[in-house]
C-alpha cells in the first residue's frame, strides 16, 4: 500500500471513530441511559473466591479491599447527600445494616483472601461500627472481624485495643473495653499506656476525659494517616462538645439574669454574653435554636457530633 493510501486509511479510521463518539454523545443527550445504582456481590464465599483466584489470592484481596473502600465511601456520600435520610427511616431502624448490606461481606472476603491484611481489619471495624448514616452501626460485626484477625495473628495487640475501643465507644460496655485493653497490654511489644487506659476505663469509663485519653492514645498509635486524621477529628469533636457545654451555661445564665431567650448571636453580643459569633474548632459558626440551645452547624466538618457514652454505666462482663 502506498504511503498516501495508508495515511488516508488511518485518517478515515480516526474520522469514523470520532463520528461514532459524536453519535453516541448525541444519543446519550437525547435519550439518557439509566444509571444503575445497585451494588451486587456475586460471590460471597471466601473459600470459593480463594479457589477461583488460584495462586493470586492476595491480589484478589486487594481488589475486594478497593471495592470495600469505594462501597463504604460511596454509600456514605450518597446518604450525606440526602438530608431526608440523616435519621434512619423506620424500616431501617430495625435493620441499620440495611444501607450497607455489602460492607461486611466485602471485608470478610478481603480478609479471607489475605488473612494478614492488617488495615482491612482495623479500618473495616471502624467502618462497621460507625452509627447510621456514617456506617451500618454494627459493632458486633466489627468485633467479629477483629476476632477473625486475632485468630490469624494472636500477637496483634492493636486488634485487641480496637476491640476494646469498639466496646468503649460504640457499645458503652466499659468493663468489656477495660478487659480488652488489659489483655492487649499483656502482649509483648504493646505500649505502656494500654494498662493505664484499662484502669481509667474501668474507673471513669464514659466521661469525656477518658474519651479524650482514648482518642489521644489511638492518635499516637495510629499506623496510617487515615486513622490518625480520624482520631484528630474525634478530638476536635470532643473540644466542640466542651465549647458547646460552656456556651450553653453562659446562655442559661443570660436567661436567668434577663428572662430573655437569646436566639441570635447579635442579641448575645449586645447582652455582653459573647464577644462575637462563636465558631467551632474548624471555624464554622455554632448555631442557635429558637429555644435557646447551642448546636453544631450541619455545614461543619465535625458534624454530626458523637453520641457521648454515658458515664460510668458498666454493663455485664464479656
Binding site for another protein (CB under 8 A): 51, 54-59, 61-62, 65-66, 69-70, 114, 116, 118-119, 123, 223-226
- Burial code (b: 16+ CB inside 10 Å, e: under 16) for 141-171 equals bbbebbebbbeeeeebbbbbbbbbbbbbbbb
Of 123 and 169, nearer to another protein (C-beta) is 123
Q: What is the closest distance, in whole angstroms, from the C-beta atom of residue 273 to another protein in the complex? A: 44
Q: What is the closest distance, in whole angstroms, from the C-beta atom of residue 267 to another protein in the complex? A: 45
Q: CB-based contacts of 246: which residues, under 8 Å, 6+ apart?
A: none
Of 54 and 91, nearer to another protein (C-beta) is 54
Of 26 and 155, nearer to another protein (C-beta) is 155
Sole residue written with cell 470459593: 48
Of 55 and 94, nearer to another protein (C-beta) is 55
Of 117 and 254, nearer to another protein (C-beta) is 117
Give the C-alpha separation, 219 to 193, whole Å: 13
Q: What is the closest distance, in whole angstroms, from the C-beta atom of residue 202 to another protein in the complex? A: 30
Q: What is the closest distance, in whole angstroms, from the C-beta atom of residue 190 to another protein in the complex? A: 16
Q: What is the closest distance, in whole angstroms, from the C-beta atom of residue 51 to another protein in the complex? A: 7
Of 119 and 314, nearer to another protein (C-beta) is 119
Q: What is the closest distance, in whole angstroms, from the C-beta atom of residue 311 to another protein in the complex? A: 33
Give the C-alpha separation, 134 to 100, whole Å: 10
Beta bridge partners of 279: 285
Amino acid at each position: 500500500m502506498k504511503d498516501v493510501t495508508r495515511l488516508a486509511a488511518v485518517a478515515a479510521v480516526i474520522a469514523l471513530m470520532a463520528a461514532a463518539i459524536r453519535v453516541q454523545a448525541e444519543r446519550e443527550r437525547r435519550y439518557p441511559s439509566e444509571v444503575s445504582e445497585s451494588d451486587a456481590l456475586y460471590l460471597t464465599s471466601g473459600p470459593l473466591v480463594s479457589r477461583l483466584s488460584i495462586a493470586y489470592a492476595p491480589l484478589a484481596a486487594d481488589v475486594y479491599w478497593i471495592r470495600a473502600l469505594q462501597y463504604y465511601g460511596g454509600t456514605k456520600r450518597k446518604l450525606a447527600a440526602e438530608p431526608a435520610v440523616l435519621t434512619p427511616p423506620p424500616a431501617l431502624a430495625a435493620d441499620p445494616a440495611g444501607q450497607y448490606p455489602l460492607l461486611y461481606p466485602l471485608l470478610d472476603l478481603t480478609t479471607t483472601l489475605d488473612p494478614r491484611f492488617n488495615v482491612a481489619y482495623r479500618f473495616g471495624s471502624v467502618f462497621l461500627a460507625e452509627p447510621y448514616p456514617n456506617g451500618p452501626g454494627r459493632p458486633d460485626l466489627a468485633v467479629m472481624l477483629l476476632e477473625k484477625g486475632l485468630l490469624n495473628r494472636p500477637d496483634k495487640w492493636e486488634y485487641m485495643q480496637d476491640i476494646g475501643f469498639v466496646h468503649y465507644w460504640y457499645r458503652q460496655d466499659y468493663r468489656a473495653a477495660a478487659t480488652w485493653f488489659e489483655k492487649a497490654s499483656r502482649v509483648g511489644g504493646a505500649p505502656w499506656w494500654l494498662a493505664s487506659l484499662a484502669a481509667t476505663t474501668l474507673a471513669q469509663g464514659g466521661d469525656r476525659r477518658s474519651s479524650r485519653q482514648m482518642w489521644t492514645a489511638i492518635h499516637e498509635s495510629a499506623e496510617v494517616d487515615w486513622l490518625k486524621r480520624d482520631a484528630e477529628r474525634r478530638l476536635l469533636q470532643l473540644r466542640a462538645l466542651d465549647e458547646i457545654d460552656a456556651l450553653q451555661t453562659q446562655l442559661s445564665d443570660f436567661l436567668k439574669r434577663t428572662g430573655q431567650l437569646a436566639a441570635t448571636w447579635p442579641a448575645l453580643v449586645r447582652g455582653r454574653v459573647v464577644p462575637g459569633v462563636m465558631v467551632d474548632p474548624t471555624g464554622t459558626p455554632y448555631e442557635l435554636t429558637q429555644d435557646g440551645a447551642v448546636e453544631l452547624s450541619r455545614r461543619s466538618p465535625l458534624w454530626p457530633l458523637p453520641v457521648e457514652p454515658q458515664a460510668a454505666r458498666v454493663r455485664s462482663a464479656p
